[in-house]
Amino acid sequence: QDMQAVRDKLDSIHSELRNSRLFVATHMHAGDGNVHTNIPVNSNDYDMLHEADLVVERIMAVATTLGGVVSGEHGIGITKFQFLGESAINEFAEYKNNVDPNGRFNRGKLATGSGLENAYTPSLRLLQQEALILEASELGDLNNAIKDCLRCGKCKPVCATHIPAANLLYSPRNKILATGLIIEAFLYEEQTRRGLSIRHFDEMNDIADHCTVCHKCAAPCPVNIDFGDVSVRMRSILMAHGKKRTSLGTRASMAYLNATDPTTVKFLYTGLIRWGYATQRLGNKLLKKLNPFKLPSRPTHTYERVSVPVQLVHLTDKALPNKLPGKTMRAMLGLEDSKTVPILRDPSKFSDEMESVFYFPGCGSERLFSQISLATLAMLYENGAQTVLPPGYLCCGYPQTSGGDVAKGKKISTDNQVLFHRLANTLNYL
Ligand code: SF4
Ligand code: SF4
């Protein structure tokens, strides 16, 4: 009889037990007798955390019964406070009072009645709460996306935002460290019921904004972390909480990419692409000539939000292209009707064997740099292919998703898939 199902079940029980098995790793100092104990745990395993908490109590009890003290050359913090005993706490309070009578250093810390015993520390008891909060919130997914980072730094050289001359903060590795700190800060405030600080959202905006979502960091990463996806996740969390920071330029660009009505597209094309590009080019010329801000030739650090003059200089640093077609590709070819599927071919080359190509230009080459889609269509036309275009102005949804509006991006992409399937079915004779 085939016992495979039973064997599989036994294997899964065995692997579950093996993964949640606790062991205590000890490191000792040969000379002074210190013993450090480490209990590796999976922070998403509630039972394991609970058991580890009991093990800590046993370790402290064993250390004391063997004539040792709950101490060490470091690490007598909030976590160990509960194991110190009254006399040690009183002795410390007396000493602290002598050397720091005004309570300037760590006021209330390691003092009876401070209330800090419930504050966030990596203590196992608090990790239990943390595990529950993480499990039940979007922070858990964010944490899962970065938790395997080995800090190897292999992602640094490929990242466009890693500019050590400006600052050391924005390599993928350091952004992962920062993301971990932000998650920790949220958890701390959640557990201590102090209310969430707006500042953490600002910090999250800062980290999420320093990413071009190019996904280049995924390739060298040995544990497959793609910080582009992490940035999108953070932007989405910020958007869901109404805390996403969005500049005027981004809002205007997004409005342009979301527009499907030809009149709106025409209006925004004229304002943003024609006049906007012309203004940028004028700014480029004037600032290069007059240099009114007298900025140093080497970039300064960028720890704070960059000032308006610096933003202006960067915005106008390279002149935007001058010779764009005066209209979008669809406006030039009269293909703006959202109810008509355009098929372009050279009638003189028409035959039953004619190759058919479905071409989805996307907003970049259709609305921003329409010479690209015009050149593509011309090439296909010249080479005797017939080209099917989707009806009306469409976007693929990627700009919306990478900007944090994942729901909208997904909707656009699903609508496109449905439309393209319909087109494929209707035009399968081609
Ligand atoms: S390459 Fe991957 S594991 Fe290494 S630091 Fe970067 S994100 Fe972390
Ligand atoms: S996706 Fe973001 S973090 Fe990764 S390489 Fe690109 S800019 Fe850097």
Domain boundaries, the chain: 16-118, 137-240, 329-426
Ligand 1: distance of its center to the CA of 163 in Å?
17
Encoded tokens for 356: 């058919």
Tell which one of 147, 148, 149 to mutate to probe ligand 1, the residue whose CB is within 8 A of the most ligand atoms: 149
What is the C-alpha to C-alpha distance for residues 394 and 362, in angstroms, rounded to an integer? 7
> Cβ < 6 Å from ligand 1: which residues?
149-155, 172-173, 176, 220-223, 225
For this complex, say whether ipTM is above 0.90.
Answer: yes
Please check whether residue 290 is in contact with residue 338, taking contact to mean a CB–CB distance below 8 angstroms.
Answer: no
What is the C-alpha to C-alpha distance for residues 265 and 262, in angstroms, rounded to an integer? 5
Nearest ligand to the C-alpha atom of residue 214: 2
Residue nearest to atom 8 of ligand 1 (CA): 149
- The one-digit pLDDT tens for each residue of the chain (430 residues) are 678 889 989 998 888 888 778 889 888 887 777 888 888 877 667 778 788 888 988 998 998 898 888 876 666 777 788 888 888 888 988 999 999 999 888 877 778 877 666 654 544 444 555 665 665 578 888 888 898 888 889 999 999 999 888 778 899 999 999 999 888 888 777 766 666 677 888 899 999 999 999 999 999 999 899 999 999 999 999 988 888 888 888 898 889 988 889 999 999 999 988 898 899 999 989 888 887 777 666 666 666 677 788 888 888 888 888 888 888 999 999 999 989 999 999 999 888 888 999 999 988 888 888 899 999 999 999 999 999 999 989 899 999 999 889 889 999 999 999 999 999 998 888 7
**CB proximity list for 119: less than 8 A, separation 6 or greater:** 78, 188, 191, 192
What is the C-alpha to C-alpha distance for residues 377 and 381, in angstroms, rounded to an integer? 6
Res 358: pLDDT: 94
CATH superfamily of this structure's domain 137-240: Alpha-helical ferredoxin (1.10.1060.10)
Ligand 2: distance of its center to the CA of 172 in Å?
6
**CB proximity list for 64: less than 8 A, separation 6 or greater:** 70
Residue nearest to atom 4 of ligand 1 (CA): 152
Res 263: pLDDT: 93
Res 368: pLDDT: 86
> Cβ < 6 Å from ligand 2: which residues?
158-161, 172, 211-217, 227-228, 231
| DSSP one-letter string for 235-303 | HHHHHHTT-----HHHHHHHHHHH--SHHHHHHHIIIIIIIHHHHHHHHHHHHHHH-TT---SSPPP-S
What Rg, from alpha-carbon coordinates, does the chain have? 30
